[in-house]
Amino acid sequence: MTATQALIHALNLLLPGLMLGLLSAALAKLLWRRAIQCSLLRLAAWGAAAAVLASLAGLAITGRDGAMSTYIAMVLACAAGLGVAGFVRGGAR
């Protein structure tokens, strides 16, 4: 495997979690713009970090990438991360 192929594999592993965090943060900010006072970047960082960690944990537990249980865990972890960033850690009024 070349370095380029290894980079593409790593990006394909991390991109679903990063995109899930970014898109869910944007939707949360759109739906609850008055309730969530923290920045979109902070929301996206918390959601993406939680989703990527869930993806890596799913890879370690199941031994393969793309398991349905891993995707469910990514969504739940992202929602928990957004909840902590937006409502628990001083983001709400």
pTM comes to 0.87
pLDDT tens-digit map of 33-68: 888 888 999 999 999 999 999 999 999 999 988 889
**Which of 86 and 44 is assigned the larger pLDDT?**
44
pLDDT tens-digit map of 2-36: 999 999 999 999 999 999 999 999 999 999 888 88
Question: What tokens appear for 20 in the block?
Answer: 């899930």
The vertex-43 CA angle with 38 and 49, nearest 5°, equals 145
For residues 6 and 91, what is the distance between their CA atoms, to the nearest angstrom?
38
